[in-house]
Amino acid sequence: MSRKKKRWENEELLHIGRRESHSDFHRSDRISPRFSLDGEWKFLYLKAPEYSPEGFCDKYFDDAAWEDIPVPSCWQMQGFGQPHYTDVWYLFPINPPFVASENPTGIYRKTIEIPDEWKSGRKILRFEGVGSAFDVWINGTHVGYSKVSHLASEFDVTGCLQLGENQITVRVYQWSDGTYLECQDMWWFSGIFRSVSLRNEPECSVLDYVVEATLDDSYRNGILIQTIQASADADQVEWELRDSCGNQISSGKIRLENGSATAKTEIGKVNPWSAELPELYTVIMKLWKQGEMMDEITVQTGFRRIEVKGENFTVNGQPILLNGVNLHDFSPSGGATVDPDIVEQDLRMMKQHNINAIRCSHYPKMPYFYDLCDRYGFYVIDEADMETHGFEWIQRYEWLNNLPSWKDAYCDRSVRMVKEHRNHPCIIMWSLGNESSTGDNFTAVAEAIRELDCSRLIHYEGDYEADITDVYSTMYTRLDGMKRIGENNDGHGKPHILCEYGHAMGNGPGNLEEYQELFHTYKRLQGGFIWEWYDHGIEHKDDEGNMTYYYGGDFGDEPNNSNFCMDGLLRPDRVPSTGLIHYKQVIAPVKAEEVDLEKGRIRISNLYYFRTLEHLSMKYELACDDQVIQTGIVHKIEVEAQKSEIYEIPVHVDNMIPETDYYLNISFLYNQDTLFGKEGDEVAKAQFRLPIYKTYGMVAQIDAETKELQVLENDVRAEISGRHVRVVFDKVNGRLLTYEMDGKCWITEGPSLNLNRATIDNDMYKVEDWQNKYFLHKQQEQLEEFEIHKKSDYVEVRVRTHFSPLSMAFGFKGHYIYRIYADGKMELELDIKGFKYSKFVPNFIPRIGIEMKMPQEMKRVEWYGLGPDENYSDMKAASIMGVYRSTVDEMHVEYAMPQENGHRERVRWLAVGNERKSLLISSRNEVGMDVHDYTIEALEKARHVREIRRCDEIIVHLDAKHTGVGSNSCGEEQTYANKTRLNDYSMKLTFQAAENESLIQKSKNVLAWNRLYTQTS
């Protein structure tokens, strides 16, 4: 006996009573009044639809005891059911089209009033999004059934509604046959999660209105193609085309046959639409019947043309580069229900960070989203609500793809998307879905789309051979693979994009500069989309009101993919991550390069495709240390698109300060307000170290009266002391225990070798090896030799160590040479030589350097190096050299899953202290550093913000080399140059206490001292 399909388990039942999809257009509210049904509804949550109370859909059913629930919302975010996050797993046994017998169900009821003025006309009930399937009743009469969670469903309910009071019931099923096509790496949310509305349309009305605004072969003149479908008794439309200033530039009349017509009009010269210059025009169309106007429609459009030319796709005849991001619908408080104002803020923020493209991962958005993208200027890949990733996990990826009974379901998802959104100029590609492999049903989908719309390209990464698509799309392709594609060694020859890359999980992503260089090197590589925009953390407040963000597993949801949903450029608290700041600079549309810095000559390149740089100013600064000594501005940059010009910056240093680096800092700014920002907002930056330098003629020597130092030692301790200094060593392990200067303790333990860091998300595939194979987190430093030598003007302490993880035969030999001077200064020369006694070694390690501890009161941090924000060897494009001041608290970067953070590269000196005085650590070579009030171990143990256990000391790390961050949580690991290996390293550090106002000058004295030492040694 075969299992009987329930309504929500019938893949061949696409809908009951749902209207044909139509394009996004704006009806006149005067002619077609509309009111929102958003707000409080009565709600009953059930384990399965079969448990629905008898008569639940009747008009006078007593629902007073039911709960209230806001619409739109996800019921899991309202206390019903349980939030559950998975990447590739279904939450019921895979047995298509059948779903779980216990199928969580929500019944919604709302009473509405129909006004007398709605006596005539057709009443259209519209749901923008319901997950995953639902039935609708009006006054007890069943009016329809629909599915596909992220597409609109409209029902003509004219015959069921009456003037006055009416009752609407909606029953929503969490699981349906459609769920098999919606396994999309996100929280599983259910309910009426998008808006609901009711509109009164005229009896004679526009049913569909498709506007295609394209260009002729010159790409200057517009062609307007209008396709109208209206009520059969309509006989004519009048239309006019207005430009962005409201001026009418064209108009006409179109006769209808049985309510339908297509008209093509040559408009003449227009301003083409692009993401750089999103010029919009407005079409106003009026529908007439026997001399009486019946309906009025408005559509905003843009004239642009999408084509494939050879190995490139073009916009308006020009190959472009997509600097994009993947975008889910998500809110920490609303789940899949998002506030339109927040969405607009997101788009503004994207434009502020130079992002020009969005992939709608992995489903269509609300209509207003495309209106905003049209207006702000984004190239959009609209993606069908289609993903069967869970089938890959069970090694049956193509299970449904070739089954005829599923063909219409596949096509329905793309066809409805195209029909709804094809009026939007921002959309340049239709995507068939995501991570569902391929097969006959996808071939049918591509054919169906081309029948509807051939003005855009078809995208689908699952078409691995690009047989049915117009572009060759891959995800997370490594750099070497990208180079092969760029050199046409893949056998496809079609334009290439990365639909996902640069996995922005936790600390990262790195390697973006390397990808961007390939995009610019190989014409065929037309960019890609970072995964993804937003961390999907769900708000959770503790009893004290502190906010944290939950991820998979925090709700007892099993199985789950943990924090794999926390992979965005934007943190859950809406703070831009370091990765977003870095990405902004990497993809900046303007670039500065040195030509002849002695003459202040630089090359400015315009990376835009359609606009000059006249909307930008160039601000320049001549800076040294923490001072700006000269400024200027070029108010308008006159560089044509895809061209370069040489500019000469009039910088001059009159009185050079010895031992000082001078920098030319360039900042490109908007010179007027924009739709998304203000005049003066920065677009990009650049920094050049000027080829000028002055040294001290001589260096002050140590006062002879301060030379006397005493050495006291026994079997386990050694103390070097004088009037200004006291240094204590443990002779058993060779470690420095105390460093005091002028009676103040500055170091409480260390320096000692360290190769570990708290795991970052992008280390996830290394952690098992690093911790459970090579035990890198269980490092041990053994003393091999300890010697003290008293010299003429200092005491020298030599310490040799063997440094290795437990049970391992690889590591480093450390040779410390301390020099302690009577004035309190202490030098450390550290040679770190890698060794391996067998082939059992890791491919690379997190870092190599030293760790030391300082008193807890040392909360002030100052440094000369890259800043101001955290940066790593492969994530530093937005950082420039300078002197920066911060605090230990501010050095911490909050990631939803705590991990390694706050590192700075290219540090020449670091000062950590209190408000008056600091320990100045100067380095002969550039080092990496971080300063925190917690240990690596404490950071590793914490799972959420505010769970990091602070310690009673300040922990300072100075790294000879620190491995980059990469994006290997789902992408390219760190490049060879950015990996720390078992090589030889060295550090030369000078320690001294100094008043905070003298730190910069003291650091210069050390530079001169080091040079003198180098010359005389």
Q: Which residues are catalytic?
A: 435, 500
Q: Which two three-digit tokens encode residue 268?
A: 């003449």
Q: What are the start-end ranges of the H helices in 827-924?
A: 888-891
Measured CA to CA, the distance from residue 72 to residue 588 in angstroms comes to 38
Q: How far apart are CA 756 and CA 802, in angstroms?
A: 16
- Quote the strand ranges of 98-231, DSSP E: 105-114, 122-127, 130-131, 133-138, 141-147, 153-156, 164-173, 182-183, 186-187, 191-192, 196-201, 206-215, 221-230
Task: Using DSSP, state whether 310 is helix, strand or coil.
Answer: coil
Kindly report the backbone phi and psi dihedral angles of residue 78, in degrees, each rounded to the nearest multiple of 5, phi listed first: -110, 15
At 246, which amino acid appears? G
Furthest CA-CA distance within the chain: 112
Residue 2 DSSP class: P
Q: Is 992 exposed, middle or buried (0-12, 13-18, 19+ CB in 10 A)?
A: buried
Alpha-carbon distances, residue 358 vs 455, 532, 763 (angstroms):
19, 10, 27
Instruction: Say if CB 43 and CB 107 are below 8 A apart.
Output: yes
Contact in structure between 915 and 942 (CB atoms under 8 Å): no
Q: Which two tokens stand for residue 131?
A: 């997950």
* Cα–Cα nearest to 46, from 86, 102, 91, 100: 102
Residue with tokens 């171990």: 937
Tokens 């500069």 locate to 513
Q: Which residues contact 521 (CB under 8 A, 6 or more apart)?
A: 486
Enter the tokens of residue 561. 């993919």
Joined tokens for residue 448: 């169906």
Between the CA of residue 951 and those of 138, 779, 932, what are the distances in Å?
63, 20, 9
User: Locate tokens 């920002």: which residue?
Assistant: 677
- List beta partners, residue 844: none
DSSP 334: T
Name residues whose C-beta falls within 8 Å of residue 707's C-beta, 6 or more positions apart in sequence. 792, 793, 822
Distance CA 913, CA 996 (A): 8
Q: In a 3-state reduction of DSSP, which class is residue 812?
A: strand
How far is 385 from 336, CA to CA, in rounded Å?
14
Q: Measure the CA–CA gap between 106 and 222, rounded to whole angstroms.
A: 50
The torsion angles phi and psi of 1005, rounded to 5 degrees, stand at -60, -40
d(CA 935, CA 111): 59
In this structure, the number of other CB atoms found within 10 A of the CB of residue 165 comes to: 11
**Those residues with Cβ within 8 angstroms of residue 744's Cβ, 6 or more apart along the chain or in another chain:** 917, 993
CA distance 182 to 210: 28
Using CB atoms within 10 A of its CB, is residue 237 exposed (0-12), middle (13-18) or buried (19+)? buried
